[in-house]
Amino acid sequence: MSASGYSFENPFRPGAGHMPPYLAGRTEELDDFRKALRQKTILENVILTGLRGVGKTVLLETFKPIARQAGWLWVGQDLSEAASLTEQNLSERMMADLAVVTSGLLLRTEKQLQVGFGGREVEASHPLGYDDLRSIFDKTPGLVSDKLKAVLLSVWEALSPGNTPGIVFAYDEAQNLADHAGKGQFPLSLMLDVFQSIQRMGVPYMLVLTGLPTLFPKLVEARTYTERMFHVLFLTQLNDRDSRDAITRPIEGENCPIAFKEKTVERIQKTAGGYPYFIQFICREYFDTWLNQHRSGQEMSVSSADILRKLDTDFFAGRWSRATDRQRELMEVIASLPNCDSEFTVQEVADLSKTLLDKPFSRSHVSQMLVSLSQAGLVYKNRYGKYLFAVPLLSSFIKRQMQEQRSMLPV
């Protein structure tokens, strides 16, 4: 790395959902979303899915100005678990989000009698706020789905005289959506049923849902027609060229005091594995460490091992600490599989445990523990009966933990 000054703010932003200084790759996904916005009748909604750290939230935020530029209204929020507890909760969440958009517009007209000479009627307009939406909801007879549908249709009726092509309902962390059959609550099915019904009527309301890879299988399990209702954009790691752009483009400004050497770029690429979050995290650490050394007059060098240790502490350690000792043993077996970074099966894990452990796992035990690890967000089951780690580069972290444990054993 080299320097020409250091009054330059670190451009890298590894926070959750923070917009990076340069959005590398994702051209195909942006084109797919623009295509979805050109629908007159909504036949395809959009799902953004992938592992944590792959840039789902950032891409969702990138969709917003594209939709607005095309004239669409944008409604959205993170979907908390509380919003998915009951059908009522979900309906209130959606009405509150929708009111933010509708309350800024004069939407509804009413006839009022003007007192005075002639006593003629005039039209008066007022914003359609949350109280109006809630009133429609409460006065509509029937199930919660009937009530929510009436609210959404009323809003579109009020908007239709304008030039709005439609409304995007965008929800992040949508894997939190779930039906609760034991409690007689089906908020996930409610959302799917209401939007499918409204879209069949020709109302251009589009769902854009973002979530972990468990999201789409969960939607299909709730309603089989979901397969025909959504276009799934599965975000994977950036390729080498896009990774390089994400590393180098933010520091190409003429006032930037740092230029990464080629070997530094290659090291960051290898460590980050193409995941945008890790690229931002590692680059930020390189940038800050170098500047601190430069200001204090130290010899300028950056320890990759120190940065990796900080990444382990900040990103992986909290998730690892939630696992029991036996669960960690199981994940150590998985991390030892040659295909640990892709799909693996219960049988593969059980077979390898017989070689590695004094107390191996049976198939049934592996299956039970994988369910628990899925609930903890550490693995997930895809639709083909195979499993994957749900946390990016988790296998590399586990291997580092195993190596550290071996180094501490008495000789």
Any idea which residue has 């550290």 for tokens? 404
| Residues 363-382 pLDDT 10s | 999 999 999 998 888 898 87
Cα separation of 225 and 189, whole Å? Answer: 11
Q: Given a cut of 60, is residue 112 above it in pLDDT?
A: no
Domain 322-403 is found in CATH 1.10.10.10 = yes
> Partners of 112 in the beta sheet?
122
| Residues 205-242 pLDDT 10s | 999 999 988 888 888 888 888 888 999 999 989 999 99
Burial annotation 86-118 (CB, 10 A radius, 16+ → b, else e) = bbebbbbbbbebbbebbbeeebbeeeeeeeeee
CATH number for 27-101+144-234: choose from 2.170.130.10, 1.10.1660.10, 1.10.510.10, 3.40.50.300. 3.40.50.300
Cα separation of 332 and 354, whole Å? Answer: 13
* Domain spans, the chain: 27-101+144-234, 240-318, 322-403
Q: Given a cut of 90, is residue 334 above it in pLDDT?
A: yes
Structural contact between residues 171 and 78, judged by C-beta atoms closer than 8 angstroms: yes
| Residues 163-219 pLDDT 10s | 789 999 999 989 888 888 889 899 999 999 999 999 999 999 999 999 988 888 888
Mean pLDDT to the nearest integer, 355-361: 92
**pLDDT value of position 407:** 63
Side chain identity, residue 134: R
Cα separation of 218 and 306, whole Å? Answer: 39
99 Cβ partners below 8 Å, 6+ apart? 128, 129, 130, 133
Q: Given a cut of 90, is residue 108 above it in pLDDT?
A: no
| Residues 50-78 pLDDT 10s | 988 888 999 999 999 999 999 999 998 88
Among residues 281, 306, 293, 282, which one has the least CA distance to residue 257? 293
